[in-house]
């Protein structure tokens, strides 16, 4: 109640996909929930044990731990919290397993993308970091994994997890300056073996489709050339859309989806995840349209009747116009930041050659049943 993060948006997106008939063009799986052992591949045992045991009824006994693990304010306790973490993470790990096995070249988990969660604490509505867990799964088969984040918030949890390795390059485009989580300066480039393998593109309010494309495409194009990843994870947080309840960018759904289109043109196995997004009728619109882009399907701007039809009034359309807000990202400044990013990318060694040991067994999350529910 009153909390901006509404898991209901996943149900809305799923329902819209069904009613557009898009499900007929894709394989839909119900992944197994991530096990305790899978979750602790990244998270600490005590943090996962805490999430497994806490409920709204017994919160009073856990006051100290709630502070320690940053649960309570932004990240409230709710009924089914641990199961939510298992489902979200299981979907992302299951998608990574599909890519590793070569049974899919693109996998989608709109319930994933919870990029703020840390090893031992919740943050920004994120409890378990499904993205880090999925990347760890991908690293069993790929020497290099590229992580791209187009949520309006900095992808701090993922960056931090891989800050000192060259096997994962993280790139985040986000609002920076008096904005949660406060990290993601262009100067933050990684450390030790991971120096220059963290890329940050800080932005100001009001960025529109044209400005975003003018930085996204050249930066990702350059990274692809220099880094040559074996797999890509794309976090598609929809809070970077115009009209978001917590956001302050001015992207249209088409502009946001253009990033998805460009990443898929790289023809590398790709895991596509959700993320933020707090005007829920626009989140479901966006992720439905992006599913259509992945499938290369044209879908009508007139929304089909669905279980949540009244949410989309008064126009009942898929797309909506950007606002008249001012774009504070002036071209000269974007060019300056882009030059700095390119300067950092020039420091990258040619794609690191990791000798791969025999691949460990896949996560159990692969044993999903096909299900079109």
Which residues have a catalytic role annotated? 116
Cis bond leading into 237, ω under 30°?
A: no
- For residue 243, which of 337, 164, 319 has the smallest C-alpha distance? 319
Contact of 304 with 141, CB cutoff 8 Å: no
Contact of 173 with 217, CB cutoff 8 Å: no
Alpha helices in the chain (DSSP H): 8-20, 36-39, 45-53, 63-68, 81-101, 130-138, 156-161, 209-227, 253-264, 280-295, 331-346
Distance CA 97, CA 278 (A): 29
- Are β-strands 369-370 and 29-30 bridged in parallel, bridged antiparallel, or unpaired? antiparallel
- Are β-strands 168-175 and 198-203 bridged in parallel, bridged antiparallel, or unpaired? parallel
φ and ψ at 172, to 5 degrees? -130, 130
What is the per-residue DSSP string for 143-197? S-EEEEE-SSS--HHHHHHTTT-SSEEEEEEEE-SS-TT----TT----GGGTT-
* Core vs surface per residue 132-148: b (16+ CB within 10 A) or e: bbbbbbbbbbbbbbbbb
Contact of 212 with 241, CB cutoff 8 Å: no
- ∠ Cα 235 195 180 (to 5°): 45
How many residues can be counted in the chain?
373
Distance CA 52, CA 186 (A): 37
> How many CA atoms does the CB half-sphere of 151 hold within 13 Å?
30
């Amino acid at each position: 109640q009153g909390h901006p993060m509404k898991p209901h948006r996943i149900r809305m997106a799923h329902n819209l996909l069904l009613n557009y008939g898009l499900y007929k063009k894709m394989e839909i799986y119900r992944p197994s929930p991530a096990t305790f052992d899978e979750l602790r591949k990244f998270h600490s045992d005590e943090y996962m044990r805490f999430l497994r045991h806490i409920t709204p009824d017994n919160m009073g006994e856990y006051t100290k731990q709630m502070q320690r693990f940053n649960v309570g304010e932004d990240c409230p306790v709710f009924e089914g919290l641990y199961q939510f973490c298992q489902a979200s993470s299981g979907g992302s790990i299951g998608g990574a397993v599909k890519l590793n096995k070569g049974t899919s070249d693109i996998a989608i988990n709109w319930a994933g993308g919870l990029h703020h969660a840390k090893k031992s604490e919740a943050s920004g509505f994120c409890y378990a970091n499904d993205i880090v867990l999925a990347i760890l799964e991908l690293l069993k088969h790929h020497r290099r994994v590229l992580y791209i984040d187009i949520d309006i918030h900095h992808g701090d949890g993922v960056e931090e997890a891989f800050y000192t390795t060259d096997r994962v390059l993280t790139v985040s485009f986000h609002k920076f300056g008096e904005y949660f989580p406060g990290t993601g300066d262009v100067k933050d480039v990684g450390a030790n073996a991971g120096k220059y393998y963290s890329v940050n593109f800080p932005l100001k309010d009001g960025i529109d489709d044209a400005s975003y494309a003018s930085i996204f495409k050249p930066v990702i194009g350059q990274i692809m050339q220099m880094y040559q990843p074996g797999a890509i994870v794309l976090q598609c947080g929809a809070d970077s859309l115009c009209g978001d309840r917590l956001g302050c960018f001015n992207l249209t759904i088409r502009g946001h989806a253009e990033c998805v289109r460009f990443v898929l043109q790289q023809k590398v196995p790709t895991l596509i995840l959700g993320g933020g997004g707090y005007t829920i009728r626009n989140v479901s619109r966006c992720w439905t349209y992006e599913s259509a882009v992945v499938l290369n399907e044209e879908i009508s701007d007139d929304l089909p009747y669905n279980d949540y039809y009244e949410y989309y009034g008064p126009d009942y359309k898929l797309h909506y116009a950007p606002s008249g807000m001012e774009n504070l990202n002036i071209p000269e400044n974007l060019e300056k930041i882009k030059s700095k990013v390119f300067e950092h990318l020039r420091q990258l060694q040619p794609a690191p050659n990791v000798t791969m040991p025999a691949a460990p067994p896949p996560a159990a999350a692969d044993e999903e049943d096909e299900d079109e529910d």
